[in-house]
Amino acid sequence: MILARTLRDAGSFLFKMREDKRSVGLVPTMGALHRGHLSLIECCNSENAATVVSIFVNPTQFNDPKDLKNYPRNLERDISMLRESGCDMLFVPGIKTIYPRPDLRIFDFGGLERRMEGQFRPGHFNGVAQVVSRLFDIIKPDRAYFGKKDIQQLAIIRKLTAMLNSNVEIRACETLREDDGLAMSSRNVLLSAGERENAAIINRTLREAVRKKGMEVCELKQWVADVINNNPFLELEYFEIVGSSDLQPVNHWAGTEDELVACIAVRAGRIRLIDNVFFSNFASL
Ligand code: AMP
């Protein structure tokens, strides 16, 4: 595995790949890798001649400076995980490599950037769009891999590639979970033992909510809010039922042609956790 820290390091590997007409897949991450990231890499390996993984904790997507400061970082451990993963090039750019000058671009995603995550993390998706467009410019991948766990991010990136007329094919990968259902996340290591144990309720509640489709949407929302907020370790930020293609909230079951997804964000102490489930995966179980 090549470790590239600069544009020049990355450029020589990528030039050779292009010259040999070999496909390149990109897996953008913020490090503190877990099996969820590895599943994206596996998918990328299976569809491309070379896999590039980037690790960059992007300051422009953090609206909370404490969250940025406390974000888990463990490059040595990440490197040893990646050596076993089939990754061909690890790109670990410095801040000046990604942002040689301040990125002043403001993206308009038609309101999607202000709902759900955007409401609680203003400016977050603008930062995501800045870093992803920059990584696409540098790596010029044929395909890029993102997790369905961050479903709104996935939708934003699909819009971004359309807006930029980019040829990068966006591939979506399933969410990997711990045995108790908690979606894997780099932030899980920051949970206290009590928060960690109770965090399993988030996915359990989502799956139960999906099975309660007989209820009115507003009653279901109230039910979820009660279950989460009655737990002393958890506090609900939002629970929404949205169409999977446009992520528009649905307030009535009737007239929804699109596949539905239940999306949730919960605070466990200082840590925000998000998750979602597709109705088609659980409704009939
Ligand atoms: P992050 O390092 O958290 O920015 O995540 C990098 C990529 O991994 C994003 O596309 C995430 O959606 C994806 N990802 C994060 N957690 C999981 C998971 N539990 N399962 C699958 N993909 C994930």
Place of tokens 């007239």: 255
If DSSP codes are grouped into helix, strand and coil, which group holds residue 4?
strand
Q: Give the residue, by CA position, lying nearest to ligand 1 atom 22.
A: 147
Q: What is the DSSP letter of 114?
A: G
Considering the domain boundaries, does residue 221 fall inside one? yes
Q: What is the pLDDT of residue 13?
A: 95
Which residues, judged by CB distance below 6 Å to any ligand atom, belong to the binding site of ligand 1? 29-30, 36-37, 39-40, 146-147, 149-150, 173, 175-176, 183-186
Residue identified by tokens 């894997």 is 184
Number of domains, the chain: 2
Share of the chain above pLDDT 90, in %: 94
**Cα 125 to ligand 1 centre (Å):** 15
Angle of CA points 28, 33, 39, to nearest 5°: 70
Q: Which of 47, 4, 53, 63 is nearest to 29 (CA)?
A: 53
Are residue 89 and residue 16 in the same domain, yes or no?
yes
3-class DSSP state of 175: coil
Give tens-digit pLDDT for 143-197.
Answer: 999 999 999 999 999 999 999 999 999 999 999 999 999 999 999 999 999 999 9
State both tokens at 40: 């994206």
Inside any domain, residue 179 = no
Protein residue with least CA distance to atom 17, ligand 1: 36
Q: Which two tokens stand for residue 117?
A: 């995550």
- Both 35 and 167 in a single domain? yes
Q: Is the pLDDT of residue 280 over 90?
A: no
User: Whole-angstrom Cα distance, residue 129 to residue 133?
Assistant: 6
Query: Which are the contacts of 194, defined by CB distance < 8 A and separation ≥ 6?
Result: 233
Residues 59 and 167 in one domain: yes
Quote the domain boundaries for residue 102.
2-173
Among candidate residues 34, 37, 124, 252, the one labeled active-site is: 37
Tell me which residue of 48, 9, 12 sits closest to 27, measured CA to CA: 48
Dihedral over Cα of 48, 51, 54, 55: its sign: positive
Query: Is the same domain home to 191 and 169?
Result: no
Sheet with 2-4: list strands edge to edge.
2-4, 89-91, 50-55, 24-29, 143-147, 169-173
pLDDT of residue 39: 98
Instruction: State in Å, rounded, how far the first CA of the chain is from the last one.
Output: 43
Confirm whether 34 is a catalytic residue.
no
Do 233 and 113 reside in the same domain of the chain? Answer: no
The CATH number for 166's domain is 3.40.50.620
pLDDT of the residue at 266: 98
Pairing of strands 89-91, 50-55: parallel
pTM (2 d.p.): 0.97
Kindly give the number of the ligand 1 atom that is closest to the alpha carbon of 146.
10
pLDDT tens digits, one per residue of 25-83: 999 999 999 999 999 999 999 999 999 999 999 999 999 999 999 999 999 999 999 99
Per-residue pLDDT band at 282 (split at 50, 70, 90): low
Banded pLDDT at 8 (limits 50, 70, 90)? very high
Evaluate if residue 274 carries a pLDDT over 60: yes
Give the span between the Cα atoms of 122 and 133, in whole angstroms: 19
283 lies in some domain:
no
Question: Which residue from 55, 149, 182 has its CB within 8 A of the most atoms of ligand 1, so it is best to mutate?
Answer: 149
Residue 180 lies in a domain: no
Alpha carbon of 17 to ligand 1 centroid (Å): 26
| Residue-level pLDDT at 7 | 97
Choosing from 173, 201, 235, the residue where a domain stops is 173
Last residue of a domain, one of 173, 200, 231: 173
- Mutate-to-test residue for ligand 1 from 34, 39, 40, highest number of ligand atoms within 8 A of CB: 40
pLDDT in tens, 77-127: 999 999 999 999 999 999 999 999 999 999 999 999 999 999 999 999 999
**Two structure tokens written together for 155:** 């939708």
- Whether residue 285 has pLDDT greater than 50: no
pLDDT tens profile 202-246:
999 999 999 998 899 999 999 999 999 999 999 999 999 999 989
Scan for tokens 């094919």, then name that residue. 169
Q: Kindly report the length of the chain.
A: 285
- 36 and 97 both lie in a single domain: yes
Q: CATH number for the domain including 208?
A: 3.30.1300.10
Residue at 110: amino acid letter:
G
**Probe ligand 1: pick from 34, 68, 150, max atoms within 8 Å of CB?**
150
CA of 188 to the centre of ligand 1 (A): 12
Instruction: Say if residue 159 is in the same domain as residue 193.
Output: no
Pairing of strands 234-243, 260-268: antiparallel
Residue 116 lies in a domain: yes
Tell me the β-bridge partners of 89: 2, 52
**Structure confidence at residue 226 (pLDDT):** 98
Full DSSP string of 185-200: -GGGGGS-HHHHHHHH
Residues 244, 121 within the same domain:
no
Task: Confirm whether 181 is domain-assigned.
Answer: no
> Distance between CA atoms of 132 and 124, rounded to whole angstroms?
12
Which atom of ligand 1 is nearest the CA belonging to 28?
A: 6
For residue 56, is it within any domain? yes
Pair 148, 8 in one domain:
yes
Residue-level pLDDT at 281: 74
